[in-house]
């Protein structure tokens, strides 16, 4: 069946300027880290993308190694793009990354110019694209000079293979150096993608301030702490959950008795605010004007629709914010 997007798709989405750039991103972006591999049902992946686009989510975030197997998410995204979204390409922001292990040998990992250029060429081929909107270096490489990695990002923009570049998983000191180098090269850093949630707050130790000072956007990933900040684990670990899977991103030992108590207390507060825990956790991140967009994943379209309700959250009162900090202590 031919896909026709919702005509009012931009009406209810908030768009935020990315740092000091000309680019705006939707307050929620769709991440394809999970649920878009060859082990997943393609029609479900397709429906998730359609629901996202129908609700004003224009930004789709990938990486070379997303799957499983690595590369599968880009291949499946490319299939769905060709089938449903080809004529809407100019309404979409498509991002991908390189920096983790992608292929065997010395040139399939980390941050060399050789790896980054080759990886993006492969990504473009898998997705059937001429260029991506944003290309990230996925993690710092302790052994490659930062100048080489950043000059590879600069080269990629000059080649027309990416419009903007970003960094991910960089700590404040490394991020400051990377931003300075890119600025000097003439290809400014558009955005930083760190792990950030109520349970993971290292970005508050200088990174958010740096990004604000430098005019760089911020797009947190894992905002729901791999599902811990949802109602899924309120009563322990269900057998079909990510924590129950041996190789999932969430380990069962992360759900300690102390953590479970926190989740239950946060859930009570969310209920008082007449929203789900996930909606509150997303709204908590979006309350900060330094956050450009929040990356969410979804295993089914209904999860995405639930997350979208966070955009209509009541403002947090000082008492609620204090209560959250108290719970998280």
- For residue 140, the model assigns a pLDDT of 98
Rounded to the nearest 10 degrees, the angle between the axes of helix 257-272 and helix 318-328 is: 170
Q: What does the alpha-carbon distance between residue 120 and residue 129 come to, in Å, rounded to a whole number?
A: 11
pLDDT digits (tens, 9 = 90+) for 84-136: 999 999 999 999 999 999 999 999 999 999 999 999 999 999 999 999 999 99
Quote the distance between the C-alpha of residue 320 and its chain's center: 26
- Decide: 136 and 167 in contact? Cβ < 8 Å: yes
pLDDT digits (tens, 9 = 90+) for 11-23: 999 999 999 999 9
Distances, alpha carbon 316 to alpha carbons 153, 226, 280, in Å: 39, 23, 9
pLDDT digits (tens, 9 = 90+) for 184-197: 999 999 999 999 99
Query: 15-226+278-315, what's its fold?
Result: TIM Barrel (3.20.20)
Q: What does the alpha-carbon distance between residue 292 and residue 28 come to, in Å, rounded to a whole number?
A: 9
User: For a pLDDT cut of 90, what percent of the chain falls above it?
Assistant: 93
Residue 202: how many CB atoms within 10 A of its CB? 12
For residue 190, the surrounding DSSP H or E stretch is strand 189-193
Half-sphere exposure of 237 (CA within 13 A, CB side): 17
pLDDT digits (tens, 9 = 90+) for 132-166: 999 999 999 999 999 999 999 999 999 999 999 99
Q: Which residues of 96-109 are buried (b: 16+ CB within 10 A; e: fewer)?
A: bbbbbebeeeeebb
**Least confident residue range of 168-182, 210-224, 251-265:** 251-265
H helices present in 32-112, as ranges? 42-54, 72-80
- Decide: 82 and 75 in contact? Cβ < 8 Å: no
H helices present in 128-239, as ranges? 146-158, 172-185, 207-214
Q: What does the alpha-carbon distance between residue 31 and residue 298 come to, in Å, rounded to a whole number?
A: 8
- Decide: 119 and 64 in contact? Cβ < 8 Å: yes
Strand-pair category, 15-17 with 24-26: antiparallel
Residue 86: how many CB atoms within 10 A of its CB? 9
Mean pLDDT of the chain: 96
């Amino acid at each position: 069946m031919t896909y026709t997007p919702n005509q009012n798709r931009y009406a209810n989405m908030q768009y935020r300027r990315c740092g000091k750039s000309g680019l705006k991103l939707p307050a929620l972006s769709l991440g394809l880290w999970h649920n878009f591999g060859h082990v997943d049902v393609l029609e479900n992946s397709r429906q998730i993308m359609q629901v996202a686009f129908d609700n004003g989510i224009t930004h789709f975030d990938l990486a070379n190694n997303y799957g499983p197997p690595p590369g599968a998410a880009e291949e499946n995204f490319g299939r769905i793009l060709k089938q449903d979204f080809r004529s809407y390409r100019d309404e979409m922001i498509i991002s991908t990354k390189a920096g983790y292990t992608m292929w065997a040998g010395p040139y399939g990992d980390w941050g060399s110019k050789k790896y980054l250029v080759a990886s993006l060429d492969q990504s473009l081929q898998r997705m059937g694209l001429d260029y991506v909107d944003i290309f990230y270096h996925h993690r710092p490489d302790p052994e490659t000079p930062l100048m080489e990695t950043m000059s590879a990002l600069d080269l990629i923009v000059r080649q027309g293979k990416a419009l903007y570049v970003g960094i991910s998983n960089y700590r404040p000191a490394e991020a400051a150096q990377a931003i300075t180098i890119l600025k000097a090269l003439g290809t400014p850093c558009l955005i930083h993608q760190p792990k950030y949630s109520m349970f993971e707050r290292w970005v508050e130790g200088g990174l958010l301030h740096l990004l604000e000072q430098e005019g760089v956007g911020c797009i947190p990933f894992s905002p729901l702490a791999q599902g811990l900040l949802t109602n899924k684990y309120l009563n322990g670990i269900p057998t079909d959950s990510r924590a129950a899977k041996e190789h999932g991103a969430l380990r069962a030992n992360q759900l300690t008795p102390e953590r479970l108590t926190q989740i239950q207390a946060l859930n009570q507060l969310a209920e008082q605010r007449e929203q789900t825990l996930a909606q509150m956790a997303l709204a908590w991140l979006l309350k900060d004007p330094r956050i450009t967009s929040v990356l969410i994943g979804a295993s089914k379209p209904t999860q995405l629709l639930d997350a979208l309700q966070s955009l209509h959250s009541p403002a947090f009162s000082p008492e609620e914010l204090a209560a959250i900090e108290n719970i998280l202590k």
